[in-house]
Structure 1
Amino acid sequence: MMTWLKLAVRNLFRNRRRSLFTILAIALGFAAVNVLGGFTDYIFSNLENSYIHVQANGHLTIFKPGFLKEGKLDPTRYLLDEESTKTIEEILHHYPEVLVVTPQLHISGLLSNGKVSTIFLASGRIPSDIRTINSHSRGLASKFQQFTGRPLEDDVVYGVGLSRGLAEQLNLDIGATGVAMAPTVSGQVNALDAQVFQLFSAPIEALDDKLMLVPLKFAQSLYDTSSVDRLIVLLENTTQTEPIRKRMAQDFNARGLNLEIKTWNELSTFYVKVKQMFDIIFLFTFLIVFTIVVMSVINTVSMAIMERTREIGTLRALGLKRGGIVVLFAAESLMLGLFGSALGVVLTLLTWSGIALFKPTWVPPMITGRVPLEIYLVPEYMAFSVILLGVLSLMAATLPVRKAARMEIVTALGHT
């Protein structure tokens, strides 16, 4: 076998320019596919990390049944009372995989600066729990400050955070005070002073003029209730999400709790849509690039066969069988694929190193702030590309070389 490979390498060097351009085509195709694959993996990973850790939505969310369908129309019907909340926390306290269990109450109403008012959507959370969830964030995005100003505090009820668009609309800067108004669970109008502790960028541009972050006690005081509408559960690992959900459902049923448990990817419709879009883009790019690569290999092998038809006839006259001719050219084609893949690995690593060195940032669609641009190295993609390119290179050589190997020896020797 080594003899065939040595002959294949020598034959490639007989026409260095053609072999070089074919190897470059394979390498560029390899690098393009793997850089795009690394970019899509970066997108998926950061969308997941952003939803679970940066936005502090956790891996699992517990609701009362029907909240997601009808809760927007009448949210007070689907609140979890203190007793239910304590029972849930008690059950999950015995799960070693659970890192954080924290209640939340999402509210809406009007925010006023004393002159004008506008609608707000607020998430009432326990700030210390949110910081714990944020601390498990990974990647370069985790190093970026998510807000300007001071952190919210558990016991400072009036301190709130405003999205930058909302603050600009009401002309409220850090330290300014506004008034939040909303109907209580009993239907009466309530109002609370709210001092701006921080300004943050909304995760979606369309909501940048509406979002607030408030302590849980603020939300409960405004709605005049001690209940919450959900519990957020953070796990050690994302892969544990589905098994833990099934176990939680069994334990809740055993305690007589009728609850609905949703995973992070079921609630993050934006993640699902973006993933589907990038999967399709990657598939089309993969097919186009590898089709071009295969055609380049077929062209190179076909030209080599035409130029070396007499050589094929001579080898056949010396006793080399047709299978030997096929093996010889297949080995050459395989070496083209392997050399191209090796150079492609180098180009991929150079691209990755350049981006890691210069640390560029960009503004993705529907995102309000700049985020770091990264390309992940995905060994599975690279290994698959090497194997696939090797197989495709072998297949690309099969048809033209089999046709040449079936030539009569006399015809091949007389070829001009």
Structure 2
Amino acid sequence: MPIAGLIVDIRLAIRNLRRNTQRTLVAVGTVAFGVIAFLLAGGFIEYIFEQIREATIHSQLGHLQIVRPGYFDRGIADPYAFLLPAQSPEQEVVEKMAGFVSLAPRLTLSGLISHGEATIAFIGEGVDPAREKHLSSGIAIVSGRDLASADEAATVLGEGLARSMGVQPGDVVILLATAANGSASAVEVKVAGTFATMYKDYDEQALRLPIAVARKLMRVGGATSWVVLLDATARTAATADHLGHSLAGKEFQVVPWFDLADFYNKTVVLFSKQVSVVKYIIALLIVLTISNTQMMCVLERTTEIGTSLAIGLRGRVVMGTFIIEGALVGLLGGLLGVTLGYALAQVISAVGIPMPPPPGMVRGYVGRILVSSSLAVDAALLAVITTLLASVMPAWKASRMNIVDALRRNQ
């Protein structure tokens, strides 16, 4: 029976590995060390991905944005030609879907902010503070307070913009803009506070104000987008597809966050390639180490291999025995590495890794190690596949030995 034969081969491979316990432990330890290194490096990158992803979602983009078709292609030049209504039955459709948390209307605007002698260009958003409470949890209020109501004559400034203007919470500023009808418009608002996101460039030119004040300034009704927050990021793709079929395609376009997060997407591509390089280096080290170990085993057991071949054992059986030994080393090393790597990741995460501010940001952060199930499986597969590859050449040489030369080896 094939299964019975496989069990016998595995038992034989285990006995062979127990012959030289020290060498086997070194081989297993080498594989485990490589797996631990891969888990820690990959887990740190996974943590960075998660933090950037969630910060992007909860400070700017939400999980989904519902806009008029063509808004993101042509709306920069004339955003008010793509206005959504202030109230619509379609909002109820969104609010009834599974996983819904919040829907917030936003009105994009730009213009000049003036205080005393200083006048600076700004980009801004009119928001509903009550609906933005959960959606904008990634925005940190640095000083003062957040917006209180949808019609309060106030604004919150990015800390970089506030610094450039030389304003503090409680100061009064004037917002100047070209309204949707082409006429000049201005509104006087009080600075309620300053905020910070993870993007320094954004904080140096951005402000937020109540959507009613933004509509008054731009002399429009409605919103340029409806931003939707879900209870889990993993729902995004399925929910976007569902809403795309539920809402009228000629009137509404549903855009998931990952289609808008250019910085995040490029960061993932860059760091993923770096992790791949680490993975290949670790794989090469494991292959070289296990191949050398297996070759030493073949040399030590030359007479035994010759005897096996002389009594009629086929070369493929001999080859299979060494490959199974390599697979067992990889399996043991992989399990040990994943277990120790996960435990070490938890310890490191509990302590934290103080990190300096990344490029384009002003604040450092505490790094952690995030070992996901997919990363653990990838690490285990790395251990098994590399040891299998490392065992092929020594096993092939063992199966191709000249019987006479093998028997005379130690005489």
TM-score (norm 1): 0.86
Mapped to 2, the partners of 1:193 and 1:276 lie a distance apart of 44
For 2:88, what is the secondary structure of its paired residue? Answer: helix
Residue 248 of structure 1 corresponds to: 243
Amino acid at match of 2:48: I
CA contact (8 A) 1:29 1:293 kept: yes
Mapped to 1, the partners of 2:119 and 2:140 lie a distance apart of 29
Cα shift at 1:353: 1.9
1:35 to 10, 21, 40: 40
Mapped to 1, the partners of 2:104 and 2:293 lie a distance apart of 63
For residues 272-319 of structure 1, the C-alpha deviation after alignment (integer angstroms, 9 at most, x for no partner) is 222222332233322232122112111111122123312333455577
1:107 to 106, 109, 114: 109
Residue 264 of structure 1 corresponds to: 257
Amino acid at match of 1:70: R
Q: Does 1:182 align with 2:183?
A: no
1:242–1:6 Cα change, 3 Å: closer
Cα shift at 1:155: 4.6
Residue 211 of structure 1 corresponds to: 206
For residues 198-248 of structure 1, the C-alpha deviation after alignment (integer angstroms, 9 at most, x for no partner) is 222233222231011211122112212223211112234434434443443
Residue 338 of structure 1 corresponds to: 331
Q: Does 1:229 align with 2:234?
A: no
2:132 to 130, 133, 136: 130
1:408–1:203 Cα change, 3 Å: closer
CA contact (8 A) 2:130 2:150 kept: no
1:400–1:250 Cα change, 3 Å: closer
For 1:410, what is the secondary structure of its paired residue? Answer: helix
Q: Does 1:157 align with 2:159?
A: no
Q: Does 1:312 align with 2:305?
A: yes
5+ long unaligned stretches in structure 1:
136-141
Q: How does 1:347-386 map to 2 (within 5 A)?
A: 347-362=340-355, 363-386=357-380
Residue 123 of structure 2 corresponds to: 121
Cα shift at 1:118: 0.7
For residues 256-279 of structure 1, the C-alpha deviation after alignment (integer angstroms, 9 at most, x for no partner) is x62222111111112222222233
CA contact (8 A) 2:109 2:125 kept: yes
Amino acid at match of 1:213: R
Amino acid at match of 2:213: F
1:299–1:107 Cα change, 3 Å: same
Cα shift at 1:8: 4.0
Q: Does 1:44 align with 2:75?
A: no
Q: Does 1:392 align with 2:396?
A: no
Amino acid at match of 1:235: L
CA contact (8 A) 2:346 2:369 kept: no
Residue 3 of structure 2 corresponds to: none
CA contact (8 A) 1:123 1:212 kept: yes
CA contact (8 A) 2:140 2:195 kept: no
Cα shift at 1:166: 0.9
Amino acid at match of 2:287: V
Equivalent residue pairs, number: 404
TM-score (norm 2): 0.87
Name whichever of 35-44 and 244-253 sits farther off.
Answer: 244-253
Cα shift at 1:134: 4.4
1:289–1:146 Cα change, 3 Å: farther
For 1:55, what is the secondary structure of its paired residue? Answer: helix
CA contact (8 A) 1:34 1:348 kept: yes
Mapped to 2, the partners of 1:152 and 1:319 lie a distance apart of 85
Residue 269 of structure 2 corresponds to: 276
Cα shift at 1:153: 1.0
CA contact (8 A) 2:142 2:159 kept: no
1:336–1:170 Cα change, 3 Å: same
Amino acid at match of 1:86: S
CA contact (8 A) 2:338 2:379 kept: no
Mapped to 2, the partners of 1:250 and 1:325 lie a distance apart of 60
Mapped to 2, the partners of 1:336 and 1:200 lie a distance apart of 54
For residues 177-202 of structure 1, the C-alpha deviation after alignment (integer angstroms, 9 at most, x for no partner) is 22221122222322222322222223
CA contact (8 A) 2:177 2:184 kept: yes
1:289 to 276, 282, 290: 282
2:397 to 399, 403, 415: 403
Residue 92 of structure 1 corresponds to: 94
CA contact (8 A) 1:114 1:179 kept: no
Mapped to 1, the partners of 2:171 and 2:301 lie a distance apart of 83
Residue 30 of structure 2 corresponds to: 25
Cα shift at 1:39: 2.6
For 1:277, what is the secondary structure of its paired residue? Answer: helix
Residue 167 of structure 1 corresponds to: 162
Residue 302 of structure 1 corresponds to: 295
CA contact (8 A) 1:202 1:211 kept: no
